[in-house]
Amino acid sequence: MIRDLKQIVGDAHVATGDIASRWRVMGVAPTAVVAPATSEQVAQVLAFANERGLAVEPAGAGTYLDSGRATERVDIVLSAVRMSAVAEYEPADLTVSVEAGCSLHGLQSTLLVHRQYLALDPPGSVASSIGAIVSRADAGPLRLAHGTPRDHVLGLELVTGDGRVMNLGGRVVKNVAGYDLVKLVVGARGTLGIITSVNLRLRPRADSDRTFAVYSPDAGPLLDAAAAARELRLPLDALEMLSPTLSERTTTHASWTLLFRVLGSAATTEDLMRRAAALGGSLAAENLTPLAALNAWSTLSAAESDAPLLLRLAARATDLKFVLDTAYSLCERLGLDLRLAAHAGDGIVRVVAALPLPSVDSVAFRAAITESRSTLEARDGSLVVAAAPPELARAVEPWGAPGPSVRVMEDLKRAFDPRRVMAPGRFVV
């Protein structure tokens, strides 16, 4: 197997032994890590794996190998690290074509020159590759106004599990030719094939980017302010609520914090800042300086991506208090510090645990997750175990049951990956 892989990608780009063991997938070391340079090489690796019945785990920088379901088996980790070019960028079209291994940070730097950006700010955005973000459908606070990767991806190149190269979607901002297989691949977590490049829709960078913070000793007044912002239909780009322990790290204020972020012309953001300030009433509040704002958003992003245990609880936007309450009791039950962040306009609360984790046995963990999940699902919500130490992750279903449509998902997986080469068992199918 190693010899065959080296023939495809070159001797220098197949690692085994100690190096491979650093690319563990949920604690399981692969036999080899390969780094192809082109989609043709990816196709050859996958065709080879398909023929031999090997299991392949896709990776970029290797950030997310410990997230998802425990692996059924893993023989090869395929990293897109050598495919990281910004392939085609036409600023006048507000679109870009980028190889999957390119980091979000690298892409944003290129776009900045033309005062454009990709309106996604997923956790860990500095290191994460575009391929990983698209594959995981990761989004951050900007999702309030700008949506998730499904709203930004115009097209992509996918190598299916059996090694067929597919160009799905296109490069134009509107396209209804054929079935929208792009939507299927975005968020499929590598179970259909390997994304080798992605075409993205961009936004012009705003002249002004402002963040306003409101602080409160209790969560209640901030929940009211968030609801009022909704009621007033303030066109915010992000609305984030932080618990005191998390806020201390991001804003240096050890209190409950509500962050309003607005992008736009100077006149627009000035006006919105004023309206946001009115919502805070008599609570302590401040306009963050650009440096403080940058620090707050990037620290929050890093806290989330570095969390050894990350839980995402969600329900309708108007159920935010209920979701927060569910998060409190879950933290209490698991003996976790109350490190919470909420996409307050979307009804999504994250439990962002930090080291050292309290010792929780896997049976208790499973029981607590199951119970909170059913509480949330009864209100049309969900609970996702986005990251957990392997022994805990193995004890739970990260996403909960997808329901009867799972049969359709299984059949779709078969159309792309008939021999279950791609990340077997790592997602719901």
Partner 1 sequence: MTVGLGPSNASDVTPLPPDVLALLRGTLGAAGLITDPGALYVYESDGLTAYRTIPRAVLLPRGTAQVAAAIRILARANIPFVPRGAGTGLSGGALALEGAVLLSLARMDRILSLDPVNRTARIEPGVVNARLSAAAEPHGLYYAPDPSSQAACTIGGNVAENAGGPHCLKHGVTSNHVTGLTVVLPDGEVLKLGGSGEARGYDLVGLFVGSEGTFGVATEIDVKLLPIPDAVETMLALFEQMDDAARAVSEIIARGLLPAALEIVDQQAIIAVENSVYAAGLPTDVGAALTIEFDGPRAGLAEEADRAREICMQLGAREVRRARNAEERQKLWHARKKAFGAMGRLAPDILVQDAVVPRSRLPAVLAEVTAIAALHGLKLCNMFHAGDGNLHPTILFDRRDNDEVRRVEVASKAMMRVCVQAGGTITGEHGIGLDKREYMELVFSDAEMHLMCDVRRVFNPRGLANPSKVLPLHVCREWVGPATRRVTG
H or E stretch at 183: helix 181-185
Give whichever of 267 and 294 is closer to partner 1, judged by the CB atom: 267
Using CB under 8 A, pick the residue from 12, 355, 356, 404 that binds partner 1.
404
Tell me: does residue 72 bind partner 1 (CB under 8 A).
Answer: no
- Burial of residue 279, with CB atoms counted within 10 A of its CB: 0-12 exposed, 13-18 middle, 19 or more buried: buried
CB of 176 to partner 1, least distance (A): 5
What is the distance in angstroms between the CA of the first residue and the CA of the last residue of the chain? 27
Rule CB under 8 A: which of 11-70 touch partner 1?
Answer: 53
Tell me: does residue 401 bind partner 1 (CB under 8 A).
Answer: yes
DSSP secondary structure, 133-193, as one string: HHHHT---TTHHHH--GGGTEEEEEEEETTS-EEEEE-SSS---SS--HHHHHTTSTTSSE
Distance of CA 338 to the CA centre of its chain: 22
Give whichever of 205 and 333 is closer to partner 1, judged by the CB atom: 205
Give whichever of 135 and 255 is closer to partner 1, judged by the CB atom: 135
Q: What share of the chain is helix, strand, coil (3-state, %, to 5)?
A: 40, 25, 40
Candidates 34-42, 205-213, 217-225, 294-302; binding stretch for partner 1 (CB under 8 A): 205-213
Distance of CA 128 to the CA centre of its chain: 9
CB of 414 to partner 1, least distance (A): 5
Rule CB under 8 A: which of 233-272 touch partner 1?
Answer: 233, 235, 264-268, 270-272
Q: How far apart are CA 317 and CA 294, in angstroms?
A: 26
Q: At what angle do helices 2-9 and 39-52 cross, to 10 degrees?
A: 160
Contact 315, 347 (CB under 8 A): yes
Give whichever of 356 and 404 is closer to partner 1, judged by the CB atom: 404
Q: Which residue has the tokens 């049969």?
A: 407
Tell me: does residue 414 bind partner 1 (CB under 8 A).
Answer: yes
Candidates 11-19, 26-34, 98-106, 402-410; binding stretch for partner 1 (CB under 8 A): 402-410
Candidates 7-15, 60-68, 202-210, 287-295; binding stretch for partner 1 (CB under 8 A): 202-210
Compose the 339-358 pattern: x for residues touching partner 1 by CB under 8 A, - for all others: ---------x----------
Give whichever of 99 and 162 is closer to partner 1, judged by the CB atom: 162
Tell me: does residue 277 bind partner 1 (CB under 8 A).
Answer: no
Rule CB under 8 A: which of 291-350 touch partner 1?
Answer: 312, 314-318, 348
Using CB under 8 A, pick the residue from 172, 278, 284, 294 that binds partner 1.
172
Tell me: does residue 400 bind partner 1 (CB under 8 A).
Answer: yes
What 3-state DSSP class applies to 112? helix
Contact 212, 270 (CB under 8 A): no
Strands of the sheet with 76-79, listed across from one edge:
14-15, 32-34, 76-79, 56-59
Q: How far apart are CA 156 and CA 159, in angstroms?
A: 10
Candidates 279-287, 293-301, 334-342, 400-408; binding stretch for partner 1 (CB under 8 A): 400-408
Tell me: does residue 406 bind partner 1 (CB under 8 A).
Answer: yes
Using CB under 8 A, pick the residue from 137, 228, 302, 367 that binds partner 1.
137
Give whichever of 11 and 411 is closer to partner 1, judged by the CB atom: 411
Q: How far apart are CA 251 and CA 299, in angstroms?
A: 9
Candidates 19-27, 238-246, 253-261, 403-411; binding stretch for partner 1 (CB under 8 A): 403-411
Tell me: does residue 87 bind partner 1 (CB under 8 A).
Answer: no
Give whichever of 25 and 376 is closer to partner 1, judged by the CB atom: 376
CB-side exposure of 21: number of CA atoms within 13 Å?
2
Q: Which residue has the tokens 């691949």?
A: 185
Q: Residue-wise over 113-131: b if at least 16 C-beta within 10 A, else e?
A: ebebbbbbbbbbbeebbbb
